[in-house]
Structure 1
Amino acid sequence: MNQCVDQLVLALLPPDRIASVTWLARNPEGSLMAREAQRVGINHGLAEEVVRQQPDLVVAGGFTTPATRGLLKRLGYPMIEVDHAESFDDIRRITRQVAKAVGEEKRGETLIARMDRQLAELARDPGPSLRVAAWDGAGFSARKGSLFDAVLKAAGATNVANEPPASGYGKPDTEVLLATAPTLLVKGAGMGRRPGLRDNVERHPLVRRYWDGARTMTIRQAYYLCGTPMVADAAVQLREELRAAAAKIRRPLPFAATRRL
């Protein structure tokens, strides 16, 4: 009943053991297991749906509606509640939690071992450090301690959101962006996002002048939204995308003489 935890369930179990996953698990912008989710039923977080499906276990997340969780508990449905993961250590912990609950500890350890191998391979070949601004309509994103920051670091990027002056800002600011002079803007593709006043910074003439085109990357939120062992695959893909984007940049920013590409 949670977009992130459902991806773990899909990775651990065959379709015939899954009564349903949240409908959001089928959205490829937010789920790395969207294809697998097409093979099982879906729910919309309603207790009535769970009662009809009669599962042996309900797997919920911290953001699953409290009223739904409370009702299902009162009705006697076994339930585990899984925290949101913000680090690779968190991913290891919750993968083991869900794997144990569904009786697939060996499969869980296999997923963790594969993730750790991929992270080790990325660390052995970091390449030149690439300064990026993780950027969205709400400001400099991917703060230190977030999963997005961990994925960027694993992919070989240095996130200027964690350096002065950007580290002191929680909102988009053109002057701060100019001062940090990142080589690339890395933007998460918003899911169902509507236009608003916060888009004004992204459309600022200076932002368009210096970062439009080759200097802006838009990536799927699935790369960093949910903490599952599959984010290591996303980090591998992101590294290739970052390197390809950097290769297209021919000249440094004119105001970044002391900064590195």
Structure 2
Amino acid sequence: MSVNVCTDQLVLALLPPERITSVTWLSRDRGTSLMAAEAGRVGVNYGMAEEVIREKPDLVIASPFSAPALRGMLKRLGYPMIEIGAANSFDEIRAFTRQVAAAVGEPARGEALIAEMDRKLAALARAPHATYRVAAWDRLGFGAGKGTLQGAIFEAAGAYNIAADPPTSGYGHPDAEVLLEAAPPLLIQGAPDVPQPSLGDDIEQHRVIRRFWTRQGRLLNIPQAYYVCGAPQVADVVEQLRDQMHTAAARTHAPLPFAGVRQ
């Protein structure tokens, strides 16, 4: 039984449905889960202690983000439980995949998932490629800093994220004027699969973004599910991002009209 959307990803990748009592209801959300289709084949839970008692799993797989009250109760009652941290690098994805695989008795399956990820990453590293100057910009503003999984994806894909440099490095929050001053040729946004409108739409669809990036084919999207939770499938989005950057760079030769201009 998994009680966190990130541990859901590993459990669903490692085990057949008949060995899973339930995963969290969030695992069926394509915006945050890479394994939404697989999650539809098993039961779901809402991280409640009553559900653990009713389902009687042999093992509960949690994370530091699972409900503290639930984790505390399971420890007091002696339920078998392991806790998996948040993966912010490819090395941590390898470590956490092995941890869960060992706990559920599927070390060979875990190694196969890691080997496939490493094969794809190694092929990308060997292939000649340009380094693309980009900015990570989404509903929260500038992002994908060093030490994050999103940042690791950018680096492996050949993207240099200027959000780590002045002037953007001082702005975690959205600031269109700073974005104009930085003038990155490409913008990369996380692509949430959410039908409901939100205030974040005003940031992602700012008129400056629409005029200079969206309409000129300079705006790229990668699914947030790939970097919200670390799983071996992350190599797929590295491939997608490199392909997107190559295509966008090929059709947008001219620099932005304000690039290099200082007031």
**TM-score after normalising by structure 1:** 0.91
- Identify the range of structure 1 (202-211 vs 156-165) with the bigger mean alpha-carbon deviation: 202-211
- Measured in 2, the distance between the counterparts of 1:150 and 1:126 equals 18
- Identify the range of structure 1 (202-211 vs 61-70) with the bigger mean alpha-carbon deviation: 202-211
- Measured in 2, the distance between the counterparts of 1:175 and 1:46 equals 45
Which residue number corresponds to residue 169 of structure 1? 171
Which residue number corresponds to residue 85 of structure 1? 87
Aligned: 1:55 with 2:26 = no
Count of residue pairs the alignment pairs up: 257
- Measured in 2, the distance between the counterparts of 1:33 and 1:199 equals 26
- Identify the range of structure 1 (101-110 vs 80-89) with the bigger mean alpha-carbon deviation: 101-110
- Measured in 2, the distance between the counterparts of 1:160 and 1:131 equals 7
Q: Which amino acid aligns with 1:97?
A: Q
Which residue number corresponds to residue 28 of structure 1? 30
Q: Contact 1:60–1:79 at 8 Å: present in 2 too?
A: yes
1:1-261 alignment runs, 5 A limit? 1-190=3-192, 192=194, 194-196=197-199, 200-213=202-215, 214-256=217-259
Q: Contact 1:126–1:156 at 8 Å: present in 2 too?
A: no
Q: Contact 1:126–1:155 at 8 Å: present in 2 too?
A: no
- Measured in 2, the distance between the counterparts of 1:50 and 1:244 equals 48
Q: Contact 1:20–1:40 at 8 Å: present in 2 too?
A: yes
Shift of 1:247: 3.2
Percent of aligned positions with the same letter in both sequences?
A: 59
Q: Secondary structure at the match of 1:118?
A: helix
- Measured in 2, the distance between the counterparts of 1:247 and 1:5 equals 39
Q: Which amino acid aligns with 1:165?
A: P
Q: Contact 2:31–2:225 at 8 Å: present in 1 too?
A: yes
- Measured in 2, the distance between the counterparts of 1:12 and 1:85 equals 17
- The superposition leaves residues 141-170 of structure 1 with CA deviations (integer Å, 9 ceiling, x where unpaired) of 101110001011112211111122212221
- Measured in 2, the distance between the counterparts of 1:136 and 1:63 equals 23
Shift of 1:33: 1.4
- Measured in 2, the distance between the counterparts of 1:8 and 1:68 equals 20
Q: Secondary structure at the match of 2:228?
A: coil
Shift of 1:4: 1.0
Shift of 1:200: 4.8
Q: Which amino acid aligns with 1:245?
A: A
- Measured in 1, the distance between the counterparts of 2:84 and 2:146 equals 22
- Measured in 2, the distance between the counterparts of 1:56 and 1:80 equals 11
Q: Contact 1:139–1:170 at 8 Å: present in 2 too?
A: yes
- The superposition leaves residues 49-98 of structure 1 with CA deviations (integer Å, 9 ceiling, x where unpaired) of 12111100000011000011112222321000110010011111111111
Shift of 1:180: 1.6
Query: Which runs of no fewer than 5 residues in structure 2 stay unpaired?
Result: none
- Measured in 2, the distance between the counterparts of 1:113 and 1:122 equals 14
- Identify the range of structure 1 (78-87 vs 94-103) with the bigger mean alpha-carbon deviation: 94-103
> Are residues 230 and 251 of structure 1, via their aligned partners in 2, closer, same or farther at CA, if it must alter by over 3 Å?
same
Shift of 1:203: 4.8
